[in-house]
Structure formats: structure tokens, C-alpha cells
Amino acid sequence: MSWSNQWIGRPSAIARELQNYSGELQGQGRSEYDTVKDALISLVLANSDQEAILLDANGHAHENPTSGRYASCQVSLKKLGKLIE
């Protein structure tokens, strides 16, 4: 199973979306996402709310009866610059 998404905006707004995103997922994908959700939120909130960021994150895992569980999460966070309103 896997999950994947991109978010663009203020860190505080993205943190709220990250909190709600697991409600859009089901089954193993939700469980996999919930495992990394708090770390993603901490990473996002370490950035100034005065700048827009782009967060691209995805993950997957699978069970193998002989070798156990394999899981991976890839994250890219880019600062896009000051927000002008």
C-alpha cells in the first residue's frame, strides 16, 4: 500500500492539512501515513509562517512473510519565498 501528496502554502496551513490527511486514507495506507505524520508536522512547523513552502511527501510499505516488513518515506520540502497578500 502507499500514500502520496503535495501541499503548497504557509507552514501552519500545511500542518492542519497533514493532520486531516489521514482521514482521506484507508486501511494500510492510513496506518503507514499515521506512522510518519507527527514527524512531517514537526518538519513543516520548523519553518517561518511568513514564507510559502512546497511539501512533497510519499511513503509505502509491504509485508514479506520471510523477511518481515519493509517501509519507506520520501520527503522534499522547498521554501518558495515570502507570501505577498
Q: 16-25 pLDDT, tens per residue? A: 999 999 899 9
Q: Would the pLDDT of 13 be above 90? A: yes
Name the 3-class secondary structure at 66.
coil
10 neighbors 54 (Cβ within 8 angstroms) = no
pLDDT number for residue 29? 85
Please write down the HEC assignment for all residues of 1-39.
CEEEEEEEECHHHHHHHHHHHHHHCCHHHHHHHHHHHHH
- Domain segments of the chain: what residues? 2-82
% residues pLDDT > 70 (the chain) = 99
